[in-house]
């Protein structure tokens, strides 16, 4: 069975580069500019674009992402707006599309309806940051027939035994959270990441992406082939907030 998320990452790897997965909250920095930034990320070679579903209580997000999410919420950005915009642009982007957020908005929208609209909008991946894998069966059952892969999150405190539990249902890629805490740029990453990445590579037969805290490409150097993809969010948002564009941001990474 085809795996769009995995295929996009392996495509980048075949070209000799780490796949880049930029994250941007839907509607940021404003309704019109968001779509232009998305097109720039795609044109610059993003393997997958992670679109944030804004939520009023983003427990995993650091101050930069949280501020951006609250800004777009105040502007009335919601799932209907996201799906409507993606449906209009379906087939125009080369990057895989992934939605990232929290369970509450998905439940409010309706899980089956959400899955149907993901398929209709060309979305093939989903991350729900506050949903443990052992409580995810009802979401997986809705998403799988629609070609939407539920991406597992694992961290420095995830045991190898628990990783094996995740690996049973894992699709697309596995997202390794590089720090204990919230998202945000960091000048250095914990030294124990390498051992945990090695463990993840042993357990999972899908690509491994590293995220939370990435600021510069040089931070990936110590990990070599252990990292198949890099997720960047806070540094991209900060760059746009300070007057830059996705196109200028991506130059440092591609």
Domains present along the chain, CATH in parentheses: 4-251 (3.20.20.70)
Active-site residue among 11, 30, 39, 61?
61
Q: Considering 37, 42, 50, 149, which one is annotated as catalytic? A: 50
User: What's the pTM value of the predicted model, to 2 decimals?
Assistant: 0.93
Cα 59 from Cα 66, distance rounded (Å)? 9
Contact 127, 175 (CB under 8 A): yes
pLDDT beneath 70: ranges in the chain: 1, 58-60, 180-190
pLDDT at 190: 66
Distances (CA, A) of 185 to 35, 194, 216, 236, 252: 24, 19, 9, 10, 15
- The count of C-alpha atoms lying within 13 angstroms of the C-alpha of 47, restricted to the half-sphere facing its C-beta, is 30
Residue 61: active-site member? yes
Q: How many CB atoms lie within 10 A of CB 64?
A: 19
| pLDDT at residue 182 in the model | 45
């Amino acid at each position: 069975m085809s795996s769009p998320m995995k295929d996009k990452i392996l495509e980048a790897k075949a070209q000799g580069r780490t796949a880049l997965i930029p994250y941007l909250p839907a509607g940021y920095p404003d309704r019109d500019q968001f779509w232009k930034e998305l097109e720039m990320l795609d044109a610059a070679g993003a393997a997958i674009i992670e679109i944030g579903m804004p939520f009023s209580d983003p427990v995993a997000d650091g101050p930069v992402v949280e501020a951006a999410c609250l800004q777009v919420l105040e502007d009335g950005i919601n799932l209907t707006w996201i799906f409507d915009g993606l449906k209009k642009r379906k087939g125009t982007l080369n990057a895989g599309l992934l939605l990232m957020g929290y369970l509450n908005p998905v439940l409010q929208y309706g899980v089956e309806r959400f899955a149907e609209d993901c398929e209709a909008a060309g979305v093939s991946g989903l991350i729900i940051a506050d949903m443990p894998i052992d409580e995810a069966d009802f979401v997986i059952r809705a998403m799988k027939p629609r070609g939407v892969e539920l991406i597992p999150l694992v961290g420095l405190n995830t045991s190898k035994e628990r990783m094996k539990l995740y690996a049973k249902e894992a699709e697309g890629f596995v997202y390794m959270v590089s720090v204990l805490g919230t998202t945000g740029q960091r000048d250095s990453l914990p030294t124990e990441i390498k051992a945990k990445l090695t463990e993840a590579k042993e357990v999972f037969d899908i690509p491994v992406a590293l995220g939370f805290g990435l600021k510069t490409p040089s931070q990936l150097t110590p990990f070599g082939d252990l990292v198949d993809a890099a997720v960047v969010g806070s540094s991209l948002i900060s760059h746009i907030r300070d007057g830059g564009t996705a196109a200028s941001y991506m130059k440092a990474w591609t």
